[in-house]
Amino acid sequence: MGANMKYRFAVCDDVDADANFLKAMVEKWAGARGDAVETALFPSAEAFLFAYAEDKHYHALLLDIEMGRMNGVQLAKAVREQNREVQIVFVTGYSDYLSDGYDVEALHYLMKPVAEEKLFSVLDRAALKLEKSGRALFIDAHGELVRIPFYEIKYLEVRQNYVTIHAREEHVVKKTLGELEKSLDEGFFRMGRSYIVNLSYVRGVTKTEVRLTDGASLPLPRGMYEPLNRALIRHF
């Protein structure tokens, strides 16, 4: 998203002093980058969801975990059902919540009191991920230009003279895998002649197959095990 970006963040914390401190640090971070940021404060998960129902345009959420009736993890799960692009950072006074974040693809956990350099480093990572999530594949479907965000594409598969793009919906295009590969980025890995996989969806790799987070299993061609593992390490 580069220089002079305009971000919208939400801070959800039921302790005013903590919320205002985070807001001030987010603004300092943005100022140092030459970016603008609008930071909305919410005193509870319910208050955020009420506003979110009307306006979903947030780039990142900084969520306190320990809040009233609905905690930060439950809030993140509700948001994630509709939105995979928004970056979620948890802020907590306790370390026993750490395993919960895997369900909602949390970017990071910050322990209170939050250290400025740690927060800045996490926000830099959020900005980088947001830049990537804006990228998309454009295809011609029956004379209409369709935009498929990269983060929605699980894998591409060759079937006869067509390629099926497995995303939120399936799209079939009369193009070669090589042509489509040129439009993708380093978050994708070409597995032989028949498949390109989005590394973000890979859950496990054996010598013969790749398991995806949705339970799908793709055959892994001979000689691809090491290169795929190297690509995964670079990606994460």
pLDDT digit string (tens) for 56-110? 889 999 999 888 888 898 999 999 887 877 899 999 887 665 555 556 777 788 8
Q: Which two tokens stand for residue 12?
A: 């959800």
pLDDT digit string (tens) for 97-115? 555 555 677 778 889 999 9
The better pLDDT of the pair 234, 87 is held by 87
Question: Which CATH architecture best describes the domain 6-133?
Answer: 3-Layer(aba) Sandwich (3.40)
pLDDT digit string (tens) for 161-188? 899 999 988 999 999 999 999 999 888 9
Q: Is the pLDDT of residue 132 over 80?
A: no
How high is the pLDDT of residue 1?
41
Of the listed ranges 148-152, 210-214, 216-220, the least confidently predicted one is: 148-152
Q: Which two tokens stand for residue 57?
A: 């345009």
Domain boundaries, the chain: 6-133, 136-235
How high is the pLDDT of residue 134?
77
What is the pTM assigned to this prediction?
A: 0.62
How high is the pLDDT of residue 152?
86
How high is the pLDDT of residue 2?
44
The better pLDDT of the pair 15, 235 is held by 15
CATH code, 136-235:
2.40.50.1020
Q: Is the pLDDT of residue 35 over 50?
A: yes
Q: Is the pLDDT of residue 3 over 50?
A: no
Task: Determine contact, residues 218/210, Cβ cutoff 8 Å.
Answer: yes
User: Which residue from 78, 65, 79, 53 is spatially nearest to 12, judged by alpha carbons?
Assistant: 65
Which long-range contacts link 76-80 to residues 24+ away (Cβ below 8 Å)?
76/101, 76/104, 76/106, 77/103, 77/104, 78/49, 79/52, 79/104, 80/104, 80/105
Residue type, 168: R
